[in-house]
């Protein structure tokens, strides 16, 4: 576990530094502006001290120019700070936008692996909130680096006025360094735990929103609210812990910093009484002691850096999910013959499929049946390469699926699901989503085959109706999913319980379209007897293994096979 946390932190640090390097120009400009402002602040005390000495010596004519310089050193940093704030905001926005684009592209390229590893709410939190915190890294690191100039410059200036002043300050500097180190460690840990709990709550909330109708029907709103908010006490503890860490560090600094300043002033007063310093030197020393102990600004930057580092570690976990690799082979001419050779899949340490081997000749249909948990949907995912098997090979017309080019594979294989996602913007766009040439005639033909054309025509704007304005039943949504699959399919069509919400008459018509003369190879996850009976052969799965492979009529003689549908 410790090794995993270390690896995650290292990946997060690499992501953080990569983000900073990509914005190195803007970060350098920020650092220069901040250093320039700090430089003006460092020049101001010595200028004030010299001006005071001139005034005390009654040399008003010479003091006039120094008073003007003091005014310039007061006004200059204000303008620089305004430019710094503007550049800070734009740098963080650009870094965040780039990181979000990268994360979104990676999640889509990783496909179901990413959404299977992280709950949707937690994934959204990482892509939105954690990416924004990580995006502040370039500006935060620039500010943190520049903020060191103030204390270092203050110490150097004290040494230039009188070496004893610098030595007096450095005597307590190790305690200040230890304070900053302890704050950084404690802050990083509690921020990481806080963000993790935020993601947990977000994941539970999205699950509840997805099942809102079920919760309302069951009358379990109070129980679900308690489930969603169960991590809240832990979140509260980490929030209070962050405040305690910051409060303790502030209190310790509030004790240590004045002591250091008083020590420097005491030594300066002693040197003044010895005639080794002027009154102006004493004034400058008092200002430089404040700059040298400027721990408050540094603590703020360290806190922001700790938050960015914790967010980067969570963001890096998303980027660590491997993208689906594709080969360079083209799909040769063929009828769409599908082969599974010794396919095994393990999920969460449990064997879901075990050495499944089956060949589906081109242009034929195969129903996959079995009790719940037998591995039917996982087989459908492996057949269309929505997941890769842990062992074994899946081939289409003799070519292993991982060896195919992305475009060839996705043009050749179509999918329809029990709960299709309506992603095309409009109803027509949903049907044509992903198809190479989704022309209007092709969309309408696919809609007719899926028995969707009639209800689509009755929508306010027909095929141009936005999906958000189309009140669809579960069966109508399924028919749009089927229409999308029909419009998209080349050689292989995989239906994962895609007719479960259709009435019997509509299912019969869709089944007839599926088994038309020019139909591609079909793999159907079947829960209904009629669906299994309509196919050429049936693959009967039991606990992830092949129980039988035969025509439905032959299997129907087996009481245990009939019991699958009774269940």
Measure CA of the first residue to CA of the last residue in the chain; give whole Å.
Answer: 42
Number of domains observed in the structure of the chain: 2
Residues 29 and 162 in one domain: yes
329 in a structural domain: no
DSSP notation for 109-151: HHTHHHHHHS-HHHHHHIIIIIHHHHHTHHHHHHHHHHHTHHH
Chain-centroid distance of CA 116 in Å reads 14
Closest CA relative to residue 64, chosen from 73, 55, 77: 55
327 in a structural domain: no
Nearest-Å Rg of the Cα atoms of the chain is 34
Q: What's the token pair of residue 476?
A: 């109508």
* Burial letters 6-42, b for 16+ CB under 10 A, else e: eebbebbeebbeebbeebeebbebbbebbbbbbbbbb
Residues 210 and 290 in one domain: yes
Contact between 267 and 165 (Cβ < 8 Å):
yes
**Residue 33 neighbours by CB under 8 Å, 6+ apart:** 80, 83, 84, 87
Measured N-to-C along each axis, helices 295-319 and 60-110 cross at an angle, to the nearest 10 degrees, of 20
**Residue 128 neighbours by CB under 8 Å, 6+ apart:** 100
Q: What are phi and psi of 329, to 5 degrees?
A: -80, 145
In the listed set 255, 286, 319, which residue is the last one of a domain according to the structure?
319
Measured N-to-C along each axis, helices 163-170 and 232-273 cross at an angle, to the nearest 10 degrees, of 150
Residues 62 and 209 in one domain: yes
Q: What's the token pair of residue 314?
A: 């969570």
333 in a structural domain: no
Q: What's the token pair of residue 557?
A: 């003689």
Residue 396 three-state SS: strand
Q: In the beta sheet, which residues pair with residue 540? A: 369, 548
Residue 48 three-state SS: helix
Residues 463 and 388 in one domain: yes
Q: Write down the pLDDT at residue 187.
A: 74
Q: Write down the pLDDT at residue 253.
A: 67
Residues 158 and 295 in one domain: yes
330 in a structural domain: no
CATH of the domain at 484: 3.40.50.300
168 in a structural domain: yes
Q: How far is CA 155 from CA 135, 282, 285, 342, in A?
A: 33, 15, 10, 72
Rounded Cα–Cα distance for residues 411 and 399 (Å): 15
Measured N-to-C along each axis, helices 137-147 and 60-110 cross at an angle, to the nearest 10 degrees, of 150
Cα–Cα–Cα angle for 238, 241, 247, rounded to 5 degrees: 150
* Burial letters 502-523, b for 16+ CB under 10 A, else e: beeebbeebbeebeeeebbbbb
**For residue 495, what is the enclosing H or E element?**
strand 492-496
Closest CA relative to residue 262, chosen from 285, 295, 294, 284: 285
Residues 302 and 416 in one domain: no
Closest CA relative to residue 208, chosen from 230, 187, 192, 191: 230
Rounded Cα–Cα distance for residues 343 and 164 (Å): 78
Range of the domain at 263: 2-319
Residues 352 and 312 in one domain: no
In the listed set 259, 292, 319, which residue is the last one of a domain according to the structure?
319
Rounded Cα–Cα distance for residues 274 and 269 (Å): 9
Contact between 109 and 51 (Cβ < 8 Å):
no
CATH of the domain at 314: 1.20.1560.10
Q: How far is CA 417 from CA 48, 330, 420, 525, 556, in A?
A: 76, 27, 5, 10, 26
pTM for this entry: 0.71
Residues 441 and 313 in one domain: no
In the listed set 319, 347, 368, which residue is the last one of a domain according to the structure?
319
85 in a structural domain: yes
326 in a structural domain: no
98 in a structural domain: yes
Q: In the beta sheet, which residues pair with residue 366? A: 523, 537
Residues 559 and 418 in one domain: yes
Map tokens 């992501």 to a residue.
15
Residues 301 and 270 in one domain: yes
Rounded Cα–Cα distance for residues 469 and 249 (Å): 55
Average confidence (pLDDT) per 10 residues, the chain, 567 residues = 55 84 85 80 78 71 73 79 86 91 88 80 86 88 77 82 85 73 72 82 81 78 86 86 76 71 85 84 81 67 80 89 90 92 89 93 92 90 91 94 91 85 82 71 84 86 84 83 82 86 80 73 88 91 92 92 83
How many of the other CB atoms lie within 10 Å of CB of 378? 22
Residues 268 and 303 in one domain: yes
Residues 309 and 352 in one domain: no
């Amino acid at each position: 576990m410790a090794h995993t946390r270390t690896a995650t932190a290292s990946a997060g640090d690499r992501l953080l530094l990569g983000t900073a390097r990509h914005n190195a120009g803007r970060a350098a400009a920020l650092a220069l502006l901040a250093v320039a402002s700090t430089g003006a602040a460092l020049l101001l005390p010595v200028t004030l001290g010299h001006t005071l000495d001139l005034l005390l010596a009654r040399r008003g004519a010479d003091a006039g120019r120094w008073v003007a310089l003091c005014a310039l050193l007061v006004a200059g940093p204000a303008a620089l700070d305004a430019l710094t704030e503007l550049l800070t905001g734009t740098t963080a926005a650009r870094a965040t936008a780039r990181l979000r684009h990268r994360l979104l592209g990676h999640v889509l390229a990783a496909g179901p692996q990413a959404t299977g590893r992280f709950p949707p709410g937690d994934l959204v939190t990482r892509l939105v909130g954690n990416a924004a915190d990580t995006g502040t890294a370039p500006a935060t690191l620039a500010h943190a680096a520049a903020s060191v100039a103030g204390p270092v410059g203050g110490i150097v200036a004290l040494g230039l006025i009188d070496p004893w002043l610098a030595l007096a300050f450095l005597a307590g500097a190790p305690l200040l360094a230890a304070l900053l180190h302890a704050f950084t460690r404690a802050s990083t840990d509690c921020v990481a735990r806080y963000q993790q709990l935020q993601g947990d709550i977000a994941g539970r909330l999205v699950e509840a929103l997805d099942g809102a109708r079920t919760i309302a029907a069951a009358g379990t709103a109070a129980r679900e609210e308690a489930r969603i908010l169960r991590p809240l006490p832990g979140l509260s503890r980490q929030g209070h812990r962050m405040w305690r860490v910051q409060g303790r560090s502030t209190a310790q600094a509030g004790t240590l910093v004045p002591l250091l300043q008083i020590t420097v002033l005491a030594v300066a007063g002693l040197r003044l009484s010895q005639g080794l310093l002027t009154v102006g030197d004493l004034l400058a020393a008092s200002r430089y002691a404040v700059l040298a102990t400027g721990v408050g600004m540094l603590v703020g930057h360290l806190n922001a850096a700790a938050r960015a580092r914790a967010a980067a570690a969570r963001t890096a976990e998303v980027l660590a999910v491997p993208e689906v690799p594709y080969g360079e082979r083209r799909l040769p001419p063929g009828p769409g013959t599908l082969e599974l050779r010794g396919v095994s899949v393990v999920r969460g340490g449990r064997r879901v499929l075990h050495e499944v081997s089956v060949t589906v000749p081109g242009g034929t249909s195969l129903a996959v049946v079995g009790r719940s948990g037998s591995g039917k949907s996982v087989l459908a995912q492996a057949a269309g390469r929505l997941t890769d098997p842990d062992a074994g090979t899946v081939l289409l017309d003799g070519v292993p699926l991982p060896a195919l080019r992305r475009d060839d594979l996705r043009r050749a294989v179509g999918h329809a699901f029990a709960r299709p996602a309506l992603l095309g913007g409009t109803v027509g766009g949903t049907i044509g989503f992903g198809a190479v040439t989704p022309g209007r005639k092709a969309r309408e033909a696919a809609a007719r085959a899926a028995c969707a054309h009639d209800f689509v025509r009755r929508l306010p704007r027909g095929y141009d109706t936005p999906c958000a304005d189309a009140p669809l039943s579960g069966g109508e949504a399924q028919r749009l999913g089927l229409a999308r699959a029909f419009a998209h399919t080349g050689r292989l069509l995989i239906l994962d319980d895609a007719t479960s919400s259709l009435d019997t008459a509509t299912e019969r018509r869709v089944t007839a379209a599926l088994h038309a003369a020019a139909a591609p190879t079909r793999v159907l996850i079947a829960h209904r007897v009629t669906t299994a009976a309509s196919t050429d052969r049936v693959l009967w799965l039991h606990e992830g293994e092949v129980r039988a492979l035969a025509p439905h009529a032959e299997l129907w003689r087996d009481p245990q096979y009939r019991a699958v549908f009774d269940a």
